[in-house]
């Protein structure tokens, strides 16, 4: 397992190869190094240049993030992944933002340029690919009930709208945050019905056969309340919870008990990682090797 590094380790940094890293706070729980290094090992079998690529992890506090970007660039790092809380912070600190990430207002993947970083967001791709793979559901053809109005929810909402979901209902307890998200994304809703509601009072006209996506943190702890009561909804086609630790949240357990197909966010982590490594390497990335490294295969 890759050690947890800090900015102090850059004082004596020496690596004769292409360095990649994930930045977060805390970061010791991250399984991204195992995932990416497994893929790089397999890629080396067909292209020896990847034998000198390696993925590290750095614990970087929010107040040190701006400095970290400068120091990692100076140290020659080629690619970075970002976790909470750095995804939004980076948006105003990189020199170029991929147009697809502009609408989300956050980036999770950075690629080195001679003068700084360019930012991408691979979470939406990861979500859409994971939902199709684990639940057999296409975002383009399915009504969506999205739980949450934070950064993860905004990324999911943008992806759902860009793929043309027939309707998007957003549930969030704080009305102001819910309304703000609806306002931010309404310009790309096109023909999609866009509605907000309080999770404690689902409207009577919610569509049956919807995909429920949990983009809140409710479920990380055993004592967390359900973000919504599945029994209060017209029977969903599936429930996708972005949380992957624990592997089954209370929301998933509640849905499973009534026979609703469920999946956790580990598959999303894998596929957003696949896309990030594709951006850096401009090569085919073995998704199966990544999935195996985190216990999905």
- The catalytic site residues sit at 87
4-121+272-293 is classed in which CATH architecture? 3-Layer(aba) Sandwich (3.40)
**What pLDDT is stored for residue 84 in this prediction?**
82
How does pLDDT run across 225-245, given as a tens digit for each residue?
Answer: 999 999 999 999 999 999 999
Confidence band, pLDDT 50/70/90 cuts, at residue 11: very high
Q: Look at residue 85 and tell me whether its pLDDT is greater than 90.
A: no
**What pLDDT is stored for residue 100 in this prediction?**
87
Calculate what percentage of the chain has a pLDDT beyond 70.
100
b/e per residue 53-91 (b: at least 16 CB within 10 A): bbbbbbbbeeebbeebbebbbeeebbbbbbbbebbbbbb
**What pLDDT is stored for residue 190 in this prediction?**
87
124-264 is classed in which CATH architecture? 3-Layer(aba) Sandwich (3.40)
Q: For the ranges 69-73, 97-101, 233-237, 272-276, which has the lowest average pLDDT? A: 97-101
Domain locations in the chain?
A: 4-121+272-293, 124-264
**What pLDDT is stored for residue 2 in this prediction?**
85
How does pLDDT run across 127-185, given as a tens digit for each residue?
Answer: 999 999 999 999 999 999 999 999 899 999 999 999 999 999 999 999 999 999 999 99
How does pLDDT run across 27-39, given as a tens digit for each residue?
Answer: 999 999 999 999 9
Confidence band, pLDDT 50/70/90 cuts, at residue 186: very high
pTM, entire model:
0.95
How does pLDDT run across 199-226, given as a tens digit for each residue?
Answer: 999 999 999 999 999 999 999 999 999 9
Q: CA angle at residue 143 from 137 to 146, to 5 degrees?
A: 95
Determine the distance from the C-alpha atom of residue 232 to the mean position of all C-alpha atoms in its chain, rounded to a whole number: 27
Helices 123-135 and 266-281: crossing angle in degrees, nearest 10, is 130
């Amino acid at each position: 397992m890759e050690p947890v590094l800090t900015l102090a380790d850059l004082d004596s940094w020496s690596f004769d190869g292409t360095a990649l890293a994930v930045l977060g706070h805390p970061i010791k729980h991250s399984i991204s190094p195992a995932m990416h290094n497994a893929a790089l090992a397999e890629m080396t079998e067909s292209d020896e240049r990847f034998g000198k690529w390696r993925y590290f992890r750095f614990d970087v506090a929010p107040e040190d993030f701006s400095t970290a970007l400068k120091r990692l660039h100076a140290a020659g790092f080629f690619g970075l992944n970002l976790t909470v809380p750095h995804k939004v912070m980076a948006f105003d600190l990189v020199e170029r933002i991929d147009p697809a990430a502009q609408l989300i207002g956050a980036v999770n993947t950075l690629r080195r340029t001679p003068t700084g970083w360019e930012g991408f967001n691979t979470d939406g791709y990861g979500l859409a690919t994971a939902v199709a793979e684990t639940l057999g559901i296409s975002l383009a053809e399915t009504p969506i009930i999205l739980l949450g109005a934070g950064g993860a929810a905004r990324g999911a909402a943008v992806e759902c709208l860009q793929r043309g979901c027939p309707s998007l209902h957003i549930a969030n307890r704080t009305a102001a945050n819910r309304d703000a998200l609806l306002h931010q994304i309404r310009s790309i809703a096109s023909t999609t019905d866009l509605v907000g509601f309080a999770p404690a009072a689902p409207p009577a006209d919610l569509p049956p056969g919807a995909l429920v996506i949990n983009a809140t943190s409710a479920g990380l702890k055993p004592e967390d309340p359900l973000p919504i009561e599945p029994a209060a909804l017209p029977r969903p086609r599936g429930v996708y919870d972005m949380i992957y630790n624990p592997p089954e949240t209370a929301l998933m357990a509640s849905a499973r008990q009534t026979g609703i197909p469920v999946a956790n966010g580990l598959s999303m982590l894998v596929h957003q990682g696949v896309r990030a490594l594709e951006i850096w390497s401009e090569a085919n990335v073995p998704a199966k090797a990544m999935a195996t490294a985190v216990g999905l295969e």
